[in-house]
Amino acid sequence: MSTNSFLVEVSQASGEKPQACYQCQKCSAGCPVAYAMDILPNQVLRHIQYDHREKVLGSKTIWICASCYACSVRCPNNIDIAKIMDTLREIAIRSSIKPGEKEVPLFHSVFLDTIKSKGRIHELSLILQFKTKTKDFFKDAALGWKMYRKGKIKLLPSKFGGGKEIKEIFSSFDKGKSQ
């Protein structure tokens, strides 16, 4: 009998026990974005249990998950499913498996890079960086202009004094990944 290496990898990386899921489906029933997923949250856990690494890491679901924690709160076995989804995104980024959603992982990366470099989100910088990478400059231009006119997007980032703490967070995270 072979060991399920994907189950072990997810369990160790997340600190959670996906094997404790007995498929009650409460997580999926309460998920506000389940309608857009290709694999429901309970099915993700089942695929982890069955060692379907490529299916899970290549799914749209792990990128569509809004990390709202509705699934985690509803789980009768106290499995933090949102934490597992976050772990799956990190594993997917490190893997060579093509993601089911191409722009969401890119946005995820740009979002983190923006926080890492600026200490917080500056929407205009984030949008410009993302649009430069997707080469889709005009897709949301009308919406962006409307948001700017209503004061929702600022030309310059606001002052922020927590840069040192943000750098420490990213530094400790990077150290943890290398161990």
Structurally, the chain folds into a number of domains equal to 2
Cβ-based neighbour number of residue 58 at 10 Å: 19
pLDDT in tens, 71-122: 999 999 999 999 999 999 999 988 888 888 778 888 888 888 888 877 777 7
Q: Do 114 and 88 lie in a common domain? A: no
Last residue of a domain, one of 65, 94, 123: 94
CA 68, CA 58: separation in Å to the nearest integer? Answer: 21
Last residue of a domain, one of 51, 70, 94: 94
Render the chain in DSSP notation, one character per residue: ----HHHHHHHHHHS--GGG-----HHHHH-TTGGG-SS-HHHHHHHHHTT-HHHHHTSSHHHH-----HHHHH-TT---HHHHHHHHHHHHHHS-PPPSSSHHHHHHHHHHHHHHHHSS--HHHHHHHHHHHHT--STTHHHHHHHHHTTSS-SSPPP-S-HHHHHHHHHHHHHHHH-
Domain limits for position 117: 103-178
Q: Do 35 and 90 lie in a common domain? A: yes
pLDDT in tens, 122-179: 788 888 888 888 888 888 888 888 888 898 888 877 776 667 777 778 777 666 665 5
Q: Do 90 and 25 lie in a common domain? A: yes
pTM > 0.85: yes or no = no
